Amino acid sequence: MNKAFTKEPEGDADDDDGGPGLPPLPPGGKNYITPAGYQRLRGELVALIDEERPKMVETVSWAAKNGDRSENGDYLYGKKRLREIDRRIRFLTKRLDIAEVADPSLHHGNDQIYFGATVTYANSRGEERTITIKGIDEADNLAGEVSWIAPIARALLKAREGDEVKLQTPGGVEVLEVIAVNYPAPGG
């Protein structure tokens, strides 16, 4: 059957491909993001719209003029890449529209954990770990950043240096001690 006559699923099904493993926002929740994270996503959106998409449209247009489209690799790849770019543009536009920029430097010098805090904690075995609580769209686990909706972040939020918090894990409840809380300096 020709793809032109197939019905695409309605709704936000194509938004699931917005990024690698990005969790959905909690129902009624806010999309908190740091100023740097907002600028990075905004920069990606502008680059896609102003640079990458026009280049790909030009490539697809050139490839379409080269004859049989069914066996034209440049055309087929270009159309696929164009769909990926458009999907990412829609995703970024929606996420940036509902983003609430929260500047963690406003809490500089505070010892209570809020969004944007860099927290050092120790578990019951004495193992220390440092994480930074960031937005869903900007957290990078490999860099020690966790989303504010992650279980560890939710357990630590509102705690202070010296507090003990309980974290529910698959292996049972784990007690964590908050050792240090840091925020970036204003303007930095």
> Is 31-101 a domain of CATH 1.10.287.180?
yes
Q: Where are the alpha helices (DSSP H) in the chain?
A: 35-47, 53-64, 73-97, 151-156
Task: Tell me the pLDDT tens digit for each residue of 26-44.
Answer: 666 678 999 999 999 999 9
Average pLDDT score over the chain: 86
The model's confidence at residue 70, banded by pLDDT at 50, 70 and 90, is: confident
Residues carrying CATH 1.10.287.180, the chain? 31-101
- For residues 88 and 106, the answer to whether their CB atoms sit within 8 Å is no
- For residues 155 and 179, the answer to whether their CB atoms sit within 8 Å is no
Residues carrying CATH 3.10.50.30, the chain? 104-182
Lowest mean pLDDT across 27-31, 83-87, 128-132: 27-31
> Is 104-182 a domain of CATH 3.10.50.30?
yes
CA distance 71 to 10: 30
